[in-house]
Amino acid sequence: MVSLRVGMIGAGPVAQAIHLPTIARLDGRVEVVAVLDPNLELAREVARPLGALACQSMEKLLSAAKIDIAVIGSPNAFHAQQTMALCAAGVRGILVEKPLGVSRDEAEQVRKAVASSGASLVVGAMHTYDEGWLRALEALRSWGDLAGHGPFHARLVCHIPANEYFEDMASQIVRPASGGAGPTPTPGELVSGGVLGLAIHNLPHLRHFIPAITDVAHAVPAKPWGYAITAVGVGGTLELLARTGGTWRPDWTLSVFGHDLSFEMNFPPSYVHTGSATTTVVLPDGSTSVFGGGLENGYLAEWRELLGIMDGAEPRYSVETLVEDLDYALGLAELASAAADRAVL
Amino acid sequence: MSERFDLVISGTGYPGQRRQLVSAVGTLPRYYQVVPRADHHLAWVLAACPDWPDLVAEALGANPLAVVVDEPMDPSPAAIDRLADAGIPLILNTPQLFSPALAQFAAAVGPLTLDWVEVLALTAGDMSPQTALFNALAMLQAAGMPVKTLDSVVVGAQAVLADARLDTAHAHLSCVRGPHRQKATIKAFGPFGSLETLVGDPRAAFPGEVVKVDATGATVWPHSYQTPRRLALLEAHATMAESRNPLHSLSAYARPAALSAADRHWGGESVFLRKEHSS
């Protein structure tokens, strides 16, 4: 079997601790042949044990490596532009980390580029491919229209130690020298960054229960890093709570409460490969059903999804759905940012 | 030998509440006997009704040694002040106030510097949003973290959400109603790490949990398998036997009552938003 050739765009912890260990679990179906990073020394360090090409530019990656698949793990601001460049170059498979872009214009351009090129696209929102979610959602739908269990209250909690804590358990990480501190962000920028950096993992889940967010009542950033956001929308209320960077028990939980049922999804932390989420659904008669808890996590599932689409399967999430997910996230980020800046006036 | 008191119950409370109280009394056969009326007794008012202040006033008129006000509905500071004038110990009980895990948490949180607190209370479906918020604020106060101000309150169809300020910390409170088992969690964060508690369903002798996580590892407190009502009964006994002030005097909770008092109702099909600032 000939392996598909993979180019990694961005050589940081997402590439090293998430995608390279996941690729190692794919039974040789793909092979990393190139690593691109503006920091060429970092790209070389990551590429060396793989026997891959290290490069600093997209042009070099596309001309020298003949890749079938690209993984975009660069800073958010580059996701859309790089996705479009890969589409234009005829790369067949693209796994772009969330968010798909940082504006609605970008998202629309990506949608057009993917449609015209025929590229297979997966956004790396691993929890949306997690079997603990997919099986629970299938069961919820089999019990009737989801909206019939509303109105809902949704609560998303992410209490997780610093990323580095997990990265070093997932791989042998090469870290570049840290750059200097940038300008001090406003509360709005901190909260918006939290939505697009962390909450975004689970906003596609929330859309099933709260299809539109209409207002953010309160938003504040937390130290060392995090946020508390209280919002209302069509279908109910939601709260998003996050705190990272300290010493506490990891807790990444999405709870949804309807008038006659509730469920709680417990996700594993990022980076580490601890298996799937576990979802416990409490039914109207008080009985419970548990879904997930398998050995394969969402990272592996999103890679299997990409390979499946490239083999001709229908994508689980169309590019239109992915664009709608981004629009939802951008809308929440904008409302939360305004509320956070308003709170300090 | 310990003194045994007569216990007079009034009010109807939530469904099953009287039975839960009588069950708890059954675990303290040497401390209490339930009687229809008595002098120098403990009056226990099941107060989950709008006219609970009248029931308490009536109980005070029967010359009790102390009165337990059990889960008052929408308590107002004015009602609390008026009842306190009688000079008889009034003991507040809410679903979590006497939880053994909450007491352990309160003892552990005292020396810690906090900057962030989160509260989740899953409440009974028939509780009003004001009462749910009062109970959560009272729980925080009992844990040694009284709320100074409320920055925002949102009442939806299923939840009342509040953002508040403590001495040094931001607090986010969520009270979610529904058919689920009742429980509450408090997570307190600071430079030290985190201290969290799970307070179990007060209708069962659920042990709850208190866990502290810091740079050296985790500490778990011993479990206590007692219902909050049993501990409230023990506290009432000590208050009467020792002629001392109660641990959770109703009048000490006038501030949570003031913060939670407002004309709120569950949002029903249409979620509505309420923002407020109080000093």
Chain A: nearest CA to B214, how far in angstroms? 6
Instruction: State the pairing for strand pair A278-282/A262-266.
Output: antiparallel
Distance CA A308, CA B209 (A): 45
Q: For A6-21, how does the pLDDT look when each residue is reduced to its tens digit (9 = 90+)?
A: 999 999 999 999 999 9
- Taking any CB pair shorter than 8 Å as contact, residues of chain B touching chain A are 115-116, 118, 120, 151-152, 154, 156-159, 161, 163, 170, 172, 174, 176, 178-180, 187, 189, 191, 193-194, 196, 211, 213-215, 218, 267-269, 271-273, 275
Look at residues B168, B173, B114, B116 and name the one whose alpha carbon lies nearest to residue B140.
Answer: B173
Q: What residues of chain B lie within 8 A of the CB of A160, using their CB?
A: none
**Furthest-apart CA atoms within chain A: distance in Å:** 62
**Residues of A in Cβ contact (< 8 Å) with B157:** 150-151, 153, 236-237, 259
The beta-carbon neighbor of A247 closest among B213, B268, B269 is B213
Q: Are A133 and A302 in contact (CB under 8 A)?
A: no
Residue A329 and residue A195 in contact, taking contact as beta carbons nearer than 8 Å: yes
Same fold, B5-95+228-250 and B100-220: no
Question: Residue B1's pLDDT is what?
Answer: 52
Question: Which of B156, B189, B273 is closest, CB to CB, to A243?
Answer: B189
CATH 1.20.120.530, domain B5-95+228-250, yes or no: no
Can you tell me the distance from the alpha carbon of B125 to that of B131, in angstroms, rounded to the nearest whole number?
A: 12
Q: Taking CB atoms and an 8 Å cutoff, what residues of chain B touch A150?
A: 157
Q: How far is A341 from chain B (nearest CA, A)?
A: 14
pLDDT at A345: 56
Give the integer Cα–Cα distance in Å for A237 and B160: 9
Q: For residue B66, give both structure tokens.
A: 């102390």
CA A293 to chain centroid, in Å, comes to 20
Contact A284, B231 (CB under 8 A): no
Q: Which two tokens stand for residue B119?
A: 């509260």
User: For residues A243 and A164, is the Cβ–Cβ distance under 8 A?
Assistant: no
Q: Are A124 and A96 in contact (CB under 8 A)?
A: yes
Residue with tokens 């660069």: A74
C-alpha A250/C-alpha A253 separation (Å) is 10
Residue to test with chain B: of A239, A256, A280, A281, most B Cβ within 10 A: A239
- Residues A227, A219 contacting (CB under 8 angstroms): yes
Residue A218 vs residues A30, A158, A278: alpha-carbon distances, Å: 45, 18, 30
Q: Which residue of B has its CA nearest to A226?
A: B116
Nearest-angstrom CA–CA distance, B219 and A248: 11
Contacting residues of A for B158, CB less than 8 Å apart: 151-153, 236-237, 257-259
CATH topology (fold) of B100-220: Dihydrodipicolinate Reductase; domain 2 (3.30.360)
Residue of A nearest to B125 (CA): A259
Q: Please name the amino acid found at residue B7.
A: L
Contact A237 B271 (CB under 8 A): yes
Residues of chain A whose C-beta is under 8 A from some C-beta in B?
150-153, 155, 157, 159, 215, 217-218, 220, 222-223, 226, 228, 230, 232-233, 236-237, 239, 241, 243, 246-249, 257-260, 262, 282, 284, 286, 343
Tell me the domain boundaries of chain B: 5-95+228-250, 100-220
Chain B nearest-CA distance from A317, in A, is 30
Interface contact flag, B193 A233, Cβ < 8 Å: no
Kindly indicate whether the domain formed by A4-123 is annotated with CATH number 3.40.50.720: yes
Please state the domain extents for chain A: 4-123, 127-174+184-296+317-343
**Using CA atoms, how far apart are residues B279 and B273, in angstroms rounded to an integer?**
20
Strands B183-190 and B193-199: antiparallel
> Residue B272 — very low, low, confident or very high, per pLDDT cuts 50/70/90?
very low
CA-to-CA distance for A332 and A326, rounded, in angstroms? 10
Q: Model confidence at A343, in pLDDT bands (50, 70, 90)?
A: confident
Rounded Cα–Cα distance for residues A111 and A84 (Å): 9
The tokens describing A274, both together, are: 């601890």
**Given this model, what pLDDT does residue B205 score?**
87
pLDDT at B48 over 80: yes
User: SS3 for A296?
Assistant: coil
Which tens digit of pLDDT belongs to each residue from A40-72? 999 999 999 999 999 999 999 999 889 999 999
- Distance of alpha carbon A56 from alpha carbon A6, whole angstroms: 16
- Cβ atoms B102, B200 nearer than 8 A: no
Could you identify the residue written with the tokens 């009394």? B25
Would you state the structure tokens that stand for residue B228, as one six-digit string?
A: 């909050």
For the segment B175-216, what is each residue's pLDDT rounded down to a tens digit?
999 877 789 999 999 999 999 999 988 888 888 899 999 999
Our CA angle for B222, B228, B230, nearest 5°, is 100
Q: Pick from B166, B220, B271 the residue to mutate for testing the A interface (most A CBs within 10 Å).
A: B271
Residue B31 has pLDDT above 90, yes or no: yes
CATH 2.40.50.140 is the classification of domain A127-174+184-296+317-343: no
Select from A258, A246, A238 the least CA-distant residue to A336: A238
Cα A261 to Cα A286: distance, rounded to the nearest angstrom: 8
Task: Name the residue among A191, A256, A162 with its Cα closest to residue B170.
Answer: A191
- Is pLDDT of B88 > 50? yes
Cα nearest neighbour of A237 on chain B: B156
Flag whether pLDDT at B275 surpasses 80.
no
Task: Provide the b/e sequence for A140-161 (b: ≥16 CB within 10 Å).
Answer: beeeeebeebbbbbbbbbbbbb
